[in-house]
Structures are given as C-alpha cells and as structure tokens.
Amino acid sequence: MSQKFSSVITSLFRKPLLWLLPLTVIVFFIVVSFWSGFFVRPNAVIFPRQDRVIANASDWVQALSTTWDSTLYSMIAARGYYPEKPSLFAFFPLFPLEARAIATVFFDGYIPLGIVAAGFLNFFLFCLVLWFFLAQYTKKFHLKISTSSLVVTAVFLPFAFFWIVPYTESLFLFLLMSWFAVLFFSTKKWQLFFLPLLAFALALTRPNGISLAVVIVFFLWKEYWGFTPVPDFSKIRQQWKRFTAVVASLTVNVLGLLAFMSYGYGKTGDFFISTHVQAEWGRGASTWRIWQPIVEVFRALADQWDEWTQGCIACSYWIAYDTYLIIGIALFFLAIIVTLVYFRRGTLQQSLLVFSVVTFVLPLTSQSYQSLDRFAVALPIVFVFIPLWLHKKLSPAAVGLVQAVLVMIWTTCVILYSGHYWLG
C-alpha cells in the first residue's frame, strides 16, 4: 500500500467526525422513522404492513424489515430462493446473505434485526468510502473544499434515505466506490486482489452491477487503446498488474451475473427469470425514446392535480410522488451537465459518467417510470459531482442553507417511507 493511501486509511480511524457523521444520520433516521409511527397513519393499500401502527421497538424493527423491497430481502434471507415465488429472483443474493450472517452471529438468527442492522452497517461503510474518495479527489484536483461538508450534502440529497433503509443501495454503492477508489487511488499491488473481488461482489448485489463491465471496457479503451489500430503494448507491459486486475474484474463481473442466472435456471428452468420478473413489473425496456417516460410523469402529475381539485384527497400523495420522480430525473440531467461542463478532466470523471448513464438509461426507457428517483440518487455523478459543484459555486452560508433544505426533504421522505408509502 502506498504511503498516501495508508495515511488516508489511518485518518479514517483517527478523525472522530468520520464516525460521528454516519452514526448521527443513523440515529436521526431511527428517531424520525420510529416516532412518525405515532403520528402518521400507515398506508394500507399494499402488503404487508396494512394498518399496523408502530408502538414499540419490536414493531419498528418488524415494520422496517417488511416495507416494500425489504420484505423480499427478508424472505430470501430466511428461506433462500424458491420457484413458488419467482419475484424473489429479481433481487440479487449478496445483501440477503449478509443480513442472514449478521442475524446468525449477533441476533440468534432473528432475520428482521439482521436485515435492519445490515442496512445500517452498509450505510456506515459507504459513508467512510465516500469520504475517502472525495478526500482523494479534492486533493488530486486541488479543490479547497471540506470533505465532511461534501459527505453531508451527499447523504441528504433527495431520496438518499434509501441508502440507510434495508435496501441493497448502500451495499452496492459501498462496493462500487471502493472499486473506483482502489482503481484510481491505490497501488497496483492492492488492485490485483481487490478489483476482481469487488467486481464479482457487485455482480451479485444488483442487476446493474453488470454496468461495471461497460465501464471496464471503456477504461481499457481509454487507457490502453484509444483511436489507434492496435493497443499500446508498451504501456500494458509497464502496468501489467493494473491491466491484469482490470481484465480480471471484467471476467469475474460477467461470470458473477452468469452464475446467478444459472442458479435461477436451476431453480425455475428459466435462465432469464430475473429479467422476466422485472418486465412483468413494467421495468423492461419498451422504447429507446427517452422523452416518453418523462412525458408520462408530467401527464400523470397533471391527471392527479385534476382529480385533487375535484376532491380526491388521496391524490395529494401521488402528486408528491410524481413530483419526486421529476426531481429524480432532473438530478440525472443536471448531473450530466455539471459533469461535462465542470469535471471532464480525465478517465476518472468519464468512467463515473459512463457508469451513471449506462445504469440510468434502461429505467429511463422502460414501460414504468417507478423508482426513477431512487435510481437517480444512486448514480455516482449525482452524489459526487453535484455536491462538488454546489460547494464550488456557493458560499459556505448558501451551502448550509441548501443542506438545511435537503435535510427537511430527507426527513419528509423518511416519514412517508415509515408509513409504508411508495417512494421508489
């Protein structure tokens, strides 16, 4: 490990703010989500929360582990995958395996507590890796910006509360940013082991883990090939450890996806069971006209407003949700503009951009626009470059005001999520 990399790792454990920041956010989330159960009537439309009100800590744990996607992760952690419920195969296995391991080791096999604890742990680890990545980035490009303030802005972005609930977002982002950090900010010795390991883990965490393969191909082209007829073999020989690690990452990333698909085939007889389940939910690509789902969001918002003016009180929630979707889409396009205008300096920025665009294109062209807000906030160009841009362009006082507004939006989302309202 290089001296620079080692010193940064050491500082992770010496600066108390690095520990206090994610822990404070976790405690704040617990307080808001628990007490909101006393004041917000839960949504009784869709399984399995119904009208159960959170009355104590046990109810809170049970509710948090059975809210939307968490329900299916809990089922996988408890029983594994089984063909009688094909929807389980839309969710990849690494997070349920982690939750089951935590439940077995620390909570006597109690899966709900394992699921919740895994979500908190992954958020904590992601915050540390994000801090390290941003610290290295600002140092490399000589940006005099507080890393801690950048992390605060990132973790309170609209819909970033999904990083702390028992979903797989935080685990995926922890692994993803670790991969980028090892590639760009560590020595070749560490790259040879950790890059393939992280790439394989990403393939088993979320369907978009395969997007890393596209980034790797782009990286190999940019670094070792370019617009020449043949690759730069002299550079490959000079950086053979790094080159080998990246090629190995590509191989195991694809193999990881194939392994899970083969497992699904063995269980159900359908090699593409995960894709077919997603298509049944309206998340299969139906057109490559990106404008179509955006138009649908605005159309749905207009319809809900029309019904609300005619006395549909429940429409107020769906008006808010469609507004959230529009914010998510706006975050994506704003991040692209910001990245291209202010941060287009080299392979690092371009790799984050390629991953983000490839990841977001499929849901943006699907039959359903649900979850676009959740997908958008999990894009590296959103939680890396938007905070950097805000801190570059605004005064410290203005940044503080923006952070205060973000915290209020974040808190509102947590309250709605705790009431089992669909937010993505």
Burial label for 105, CB within 10 Å (0-12, 13-18, 19+), is exposed
Indicate the pLDDT class of residue 221, thresholds 50, 70 and 90.
very high
The pLDDT tens digits for 86-140 are 889 999 999 999 999 999 999 999 999 999 999 999 999 999 999 999 999 999 9
The token duo for 349 is 């920025």
Return the bridge partners of 285, or none: 366
Measured CA to CA, the distance from residue 154 to residue 167 in angstroms comes to 18
The sign of the dihedral angle between the CA atoms of 245, 247, 249, 252 is negative
The per-residue pLDDT for 196 is: 96
- Give the residue from 227, 254, 260, 243 showing the smallest Cα distance to 95: 260
Measured CA to CA, the distance from residue 420 to residue 59 in angstroms comes to 13
Measured CA to CA, the distance from residue 357 to residue 351 in angstroms comes to 10
Which are the contacts of 73, defined by CB distance < 8 A and separation ≥ 6? 91, 95, 96, 99, 115, 166, 167, 168
Indicate the pLDDT class of residue 421, thresholds 50, 70 and 90.
confident
The per-residue pLDDT for 394 is: 95
Look up tokens 């790094």; give the residue.
242
- For residues 180 and 349, the answer to whether their CB atoms sit within 8 Å is no
Indicate the pLDDT class of residue 46, thresholds 50, 70 and 90.
very low
Question: What's the full length of the chain, in residues?
Answer: 424
> What does pTM read for this prediction?
0.91
DSSP codes of every residue in 54-102: P-SHHHHHHHHTTSTHHHHHHHHHHH---TT-GGGGGS-SHHHHHHHHH
Enter the DSSP assignment of 285: B
The pLDDT tens digits for 50-98 are 555 666 788 888 888 888 889 999 999 999 999 888 889 999 999 999 9
Return the bridge partners of 73, or none: none
| Distance, first Cα to last Cα, the chain | 40
User: Any idea which of 81-95, 360-374, 397-411 has the lowest mean pLDDT?
Assistant: 360-374
Angle at 278 (CA atoms; ends 154, 68), nearest 5 degrees? 55
Does residue 269 have a pLDDT over 60? yes
The per-residue pLDDT for 66 is: 84
The pLDDT tens digits for 271-321 are 988 888 877 776 665 555 666 667 777 777 777 666 666 666 666 666 777
The per-residue pLDDT for 272 is: 86
The sign of the dihedral angle between the CA atoms of 170, 175, 176, 182 is positive
Stronger pLDDT, 398 or 275, i.e. the higher one: 398
The per-residue pLDDT for 188 is: 74
Does residue 39 have a pLDDT over 80? no
* Backbone Cα Rg of the chain: 22
The token duo for 394 is 């605004």
Q: Which amino acid does the sequence have at 324?
A: Y
The per-residue pLDDT for 322 is: 79
